[in-house]
Structure 1
C-alpha cells in the first residue's frame, strides 16, 4: 500500500512539474530582448457571460498590470474582447476591473470587436504600431498562440515581442497540467 501511495504521489508531483515546465516554456515562445522606452501590454479576454469580470479575466488583468514595466516612459494597456458570451464586451469588463478594483490610471485602450484570438491580434495591431515593445498576456499557451498570430499578421511588429508576466511558478499549479494539455491539443488541432 505504501508503494502505491508513493507512486501516486510521485506521479502527481511529476505531472505538476510538467505543467509548470510547459507553461514556463510557452511564456518564452517567440519573445526576445527588445530595448525601448514605450510598451503596449495586450491582455486577451476570456468568455464572460456576466456583468462583472469573471475569475479568468480578473487574473489576466492582474497579470497584465504586473507586466507593465515601471521604467517605461510610456505604457499602454490594450484590453481585447467583444461581447462573446454576454451582453457586455470582455474588454469593458476587464477595464472596469483594472480601474475600479485594481486602481489602474494609465493609458487604456479597449478593443471591443474581436470574437477570436486571431481577431484579438488583428484588431489590436493599430495600437501596437507606435511602441517599442509588445507584451501579450493570457494563459501562457494562449499568449504563445497569439504571438504566433502576430508573427503571421505582422512580422515587423512580432520582432518587438517581449515576455509578459503571465507565468509565475506555483500560480494555478493544480490547473497548469490541464492548461498545458489543452494548449497542446489546440495546437495540434489548429495546424493547417
Structure 2
C-alpha cells in the first residue's frame, strides 16, 4: 500500500511538472509566419572555463529550433562573463560550432548579466526578422518573452514557439524546474502566463 501511495505521489509530481513546463512553453507566442527568424539562446551562469551542462542543453535546443535549412536564421547566443573570464555567449557558440558542427549564422551578445539585460541587448539584432524564438528552460524563456513584450511590444508580436520543450525530456527534474519557475514567474501577471490558443499538443 505504501509503495502504491509513493508511486502515485511520484507520478503526480512528474505529471504536474510536465504540465506546467508544457504550459509555459506555449505562453506569449504567436502563429508561425514569415521567412527570416532569430533564435535567441539565453545563457546560464558558467563559472567553469568550459561550457556547462545547462548551457550545452540550451545550445542543442537552440539548434533544433532552427527552421528548415537555416539559411534565413540567425542564432544569437546571449550572456556575459558571469563567473568566468569567457562570456556565456562565447562558450555556447564555441560548443555549437566545434561539437554540434553548426555552420549557420551566429551572433554573440556578451554584455548581459540578467534576463532583462539579455532582452534589452538583443533587441537591435531582432529588428529585421519575421519570427523570434527564445530558447531556455520553459519558465525562463517565458520570462524573457514577457520582458520583450514589456520593452518592445511590436517585436513581441513576432514571437513563436522554440523547440525547448519536449515531453519526457528532463522528466525527473521538471518538478523542481516547475517549483523554481513558479517562484521566478511571480513577476508576471496572469495575461503573460496565458497559453496561446493556437498552439498544439506535443
TM-score by length of 1: 0.96
Cα offset for 1:108?
0.4
Measured in 1, the distance between the counterparts of 2:66 and 2:167 equals: 19
Q: How does 1:14-163 map to 2 (within 5 A)?
A: 14-70=12-68, 73-163=71-161
Measured in 1, the distance between the counterparts of 2:20 and 2:178 equals: 6
Question: What do residues 59-108 of structure 1 show as CA deviations (whole Å, max 9, x unaligned)?
Answer: 00000000000156400000000001111100000000000000011110
* Paired residue secondary structure (1:104): coil
Measured in 1, the distance between the counterparts of 2:105 and 2:126 equals: 13
Cα offset for 1:187?
1.9
Measured in 2, the distance between the counterparts of 1:123 and 1:49 equals: 22
* Paired residue secondary structure (1:62): helix
Pairwise CA RMSD of aligned residues? Answer: 1.2
Query: Does structure 1 retain, via aligned residues, the 8 Å contact 2:42–2:118?
Result: yes
Query: Does structure 1 retain, via aligned residues, the 8 Å contact 2:143–2:188?
Result: no
Q: How many residue pairs were aligned?
A: 189
Structure 1 unaligned spans of 5+: none
Structure 2 unaligned spans of 5+: 190-202
Paired residue for 2:178?
Answer: 180
Cα offset for 1:34?
3.2
* Paired residue secondary structure (1:42): strand
List 4+ stretches of structure 1 deviating above 6 A: none
